[in-house]
Every structure is written in structure tokens, then in C-alpha cells.
Amino acid sequence: AMEGHAKITLTLLTVIVLLTKANLAKNLQDLDIVHYQPEQVHLAFGERTASEIVVTWSTRELPTDSNNNNNNENSSSIVEYGLEDLKLRAYGQATKFVDGGPQQRTQYIHRVTLRDLQPNSSYVYHCGSGYGWSALYNFRTVVSATPDWSPTLAIYGDMGNENAQSLARLQQETQLGMYDAILHVGDFAYDMNTKDARVGDEFMRQIETVAAYLPYMVVPGNHEEKFNFSNYRARFSMPGGTENLFYSFDLGPVHFIGISTEVYYFLNYGLKTLVFQYEWLKQDLAAANKPEQRAQRPWIIIYGHRPMYCSNENDNDCTHSETLTRVGWPFVHMFGLEPLLYEYGVDVAIWAHEHSYERLWPIYDYNVRNGTYSSPYENPRAPVHIVTGSAGCKEGREPFKGKIPEWSAFHSQDYGYTRLKAHNRTHLYFEQVSDDQQGAIIDKFWLIKSKHGSYES
């Protein structure tokens, strides 16, 4: 019997020793691996679109002896850059971000603003610290601070980690220098917080080969909602100081305005942001409509995630006639956005959310207000709405109704994205790229305006 006991004790001891060893090994292994290498590099326009670029990246850890606030070699957030070499240096900040998921995964988001950049120039840069640098990237600054040049943008929403149909083509075209900026109109990664934010990290790695070369401008979608949009707020660096929720910037002859449509839907986070954004938008539109300002930058383009109109076959809000963003709160109709677009003469409204592409006739309150019968987009008497949410995600495509309403000019279920070229103060050109058809253009139109301003007059 003693023998048996001894055997059990020995076995137990062996197990304990092995477990202790395994545990030690695990701890050692954790100590062995450091994560100082920069990743998820992406750019945005700074407060001064013409001369500032914000570089943002992530590291899993901060070296213990690096100094977060130091503007010297010991800083943990440095960008070395220049026109041909890396002779210039800029320093920034790292902010700790703790994901809200069960593992409370931590990372550090680094932000550095490059100031006083020369217009129409190609800069090379890398980011990091004395503990490791990123790859070498380059970007072009805007051609001019004036309205007199023709920016080209790629625009889309609803692109995920899985089934990101448009990503490869966007990577190629961006690296060839086709675009001056990108607008990603909400819904990223599906979802950024999934698997303790690992899906968000992988998505940011995927878009690095687009977003490290040009400003990647974003607005929030419903898929960013978790933990009050914490992943979205933490990872991006839009101008305006509103944690990336709403902002505006000028590019060539266009005044761009990015907004959060989500403040109308997730009222569990309070109403303050909704009211604040509405008041801000009114002021921004009023400023853009001052006669000298509107003469300089006549085009106003607004973008947000959820559409006011769509002819998709589902129960999304844009299929209802009283869409919240359009008419405002039910019954009282406060804070509706469509009257603002009309009053302040917004030329184009770009949305996503539906995983398809749709172009509308110029429309206000369900009334088509074309320019003329033969040239509907020449001096139209209402904003033109475009829905472009088909860059590809794991949820697949979105079907359309059997009977398409008469206010819808074109629709397609193809995966793809939109290109905009703002030629000058009178001509905008839009085209829709189909990934199903190897990059073929499936829709295109010119928006032509000799006179800009309120549609009320």
C-alpha cells in the first residue's frame, strides 16, 4: 500500500514540477517577447490641410525607459522625414488604449503632427523610436492651399477584414499615386473590437499599405459602436478635436464635411453629442456659405455612414420614409439634417451602410428636383445622394427591392468603390468601380454647376 502512496505522491510531485516549469516558461516567454515595433501606420490631414499631416501608429508596449513627453532621442513617438532624406524630426505623444473586451488588451497609439510641409511635394518618412522604426513610406502633400487644383479621391464604406473585395485594387492604385485622399464612410474590420480588438489590429495592418501613403479620412458607422465607439475614437486622428466624430476640411475647390450619423441611433450614449454635432454643422455650413468663402470653394460635400434614402430590400432605416437623420427625432422632427443640406446648398451627400451602390436623382423630401430633363445633373435644385457601401465585408451584398423607386437613377450590387475628381469650381466627375468586373467602370456622371448656394432661393 505504501508503494501505491509513494507512486501517487511521486506522480503528483512530477505534475507540480512540470506545471511550475510550464508556468515559469510561460512567464519567461512573456518576458522574452517585446512588442516595440511600429505597426498599423496611417495618415490624416492635420488642422491645416495644406501643410499638416498627422502620422498615427501602434505599438503593443512602450519601452520602460522611453519618455512619452520628451522631444528628444528618448521619445517613444518620433517621425523622421524629409524631401529626399530623413533629416527632419517631429515628436509626438503615445496614448494608452485599453480595449473594452474581457482580456482588456492594451496597446499604445502614437500620434505625431508634421507641420509646415511644402505644397505639391513628395516626402519620405518612417515612424517609431530608438527601439525600432517602421518601413519607409512616402506621401504627397496637397498641390496647393488654393482652390485651383483638381483632387482625386477614392470613397467607400463597409470594408472588413474578411471579404475586403476592394482592398487589393485600392492598394495598387494608392501606391501608384492615383489618389490625393481616401474617405472611408464608416464600418471597419467587422468589428474593430472583435476578438479583444485583434480584428481591429489586423484590419489596420491590412489598410496600412493604403493609409500610410495618403490621408485616410474616416467617419464612424454602426459597427464601431461597442464601448461607445472606443476603438474608433482611439485608433484614428481626424482634425477638429471631436475624437473623430465630426470635422471638416478643404481640398481644392471642395469643402468636405464628415459627420456621425450614429448619434441619431445609439441614444444610450446620451443626446449631448447629437445636439453638439447639429449645432456645429449649422455653424460650419454657415461659414462655408459666406459669399467670399463659397466663391472660393463652391462645392460642399457631406459624408456620413447611414443614408437618408435607399431602395434596398431590408428593414434598415433608409428604407423608411421618416429616416431619423433626414427628418430628425420622431414626431417633434428636431435635428433633422435634410433641411440643413437644402438651406445651405450642399451639393453632394455620400453615404454607405447598404452593401451596394446607388446613385439618386437630385432629391429633397422625396421630390426629384433635376436640373433639366436632358441634363438632370446640370444646376440641380437639390443635393445629389450617393450610397457606396460595397467595398466588401463578411456580411456580403445587400439586395434591392423588386420595384425600384423613380428617384433612384442607378443601382448595382457589385462590390466596388467610388472615385471622385473635383475638376474645378463648376465640374465634379464621379465614377463607380466594379470589383466583380475587374475594375470596370459601371456608372459615371458629371455634376455641373454654374451657380452654388442655397436651394431655397
Asked if 171 and 51 sit in the same domain, the reply is no
Residue 250 CB partners (closer than 8 Å, separation 6+): 49, 147, 256, 297
Asked if 262 and 404 sit in the same domain, the reply is yes
pLDDT value, residue 73 = 79
Asked if 110 and 158 sit in the same domain, the reply is no
Asked if 127 and 161 sit in the same domain, the reply is no
Residue 10 inside a domain? The answer is: no
Asked if 220 and 308 sit in the same domain, the reply is yes
* Domain total of the chain: 2
Where is the domain boundary, 87, 111, 140? 140
Where is the domain boundary, 105, 140, 175? 140
Asked if 123 and 230 sit in the same domain, the reply is no
Q: How far apart are CA 153 and CA 144, in angstroms?
A: 16
Q: Given the C-alpha cell 456620413, which residue does it identify?
A: 304
CATH number of the domain encompassing residue 331:
3.60.21.10
Asked if 122 and 247 sit in the same domain, the reply is no
Contact present, 354 and 332 (Cβ < 8 Å)? no
Asked if 396 and 283 sit in the same domain, the reply is yes
Asked if 76 and 175 sit in the same domain, the reply is no
Asked if 272 and 401 sit in the same domain, the reply is yes
Q: What is the 3-state secondary structure (H, E, C) of 174-224?
A: HHCCCCCEEEEECCEECCCCHHHHHHHHHHHHHHHHHHCCCEEEEECCHHH
Residue 8 inside a domain? The answer is: no
Q: Which residue type does 401 have? A: K
Residue 453 inside a domain? The answer is: no
Residue 329 inside a domain? The answer is: yes
pLDDT value, residue 53 = 99
pLDDT value, residue 291 = 98
Q: How far apart are CA 122 and CA 317, in angstroms?
A: 43
Asked if 245 and 130 sit in the same domain, the reply is no
User: Has this prediction a pTM greater than 0.85?
Assistant: yes
Where is the domain boundary, 140, 169, 190? 140
pLDDT value, residue 333 = 86
Asked if 82 and 210 sit in the same domain, the reply is no
Residue 241 inside a domain? The answer is: yes
Burial category of 161 from C-beta neighbours within 10 Å (exposed 0-12, middle 13-18, buried 19 and up): buried
Residue 203 inside a domain? The answer is: yes
pLDDT value, residue 372 = 93
Residue 335 inside a domain? The answer is: yes
CATH number of the domain encompassing residue 113:
2.60.40.380
Binned average pLDDT, 10 residues per bin, the chain of 457 residues: 67 70 57 89 98 98 74 89 97 97 97 98 98 97 98 99 98 98 98 98 98 99 98 98 98 99 95 96 99 98 99 96 94 93 99 99 98 96 99 97 97 99 99 98 99 95
Residues paired with 359 in a beta bridge: 386, 410
Residue 147 inside a domain? The answer is: no
Domain that holds residue 68: 39-140
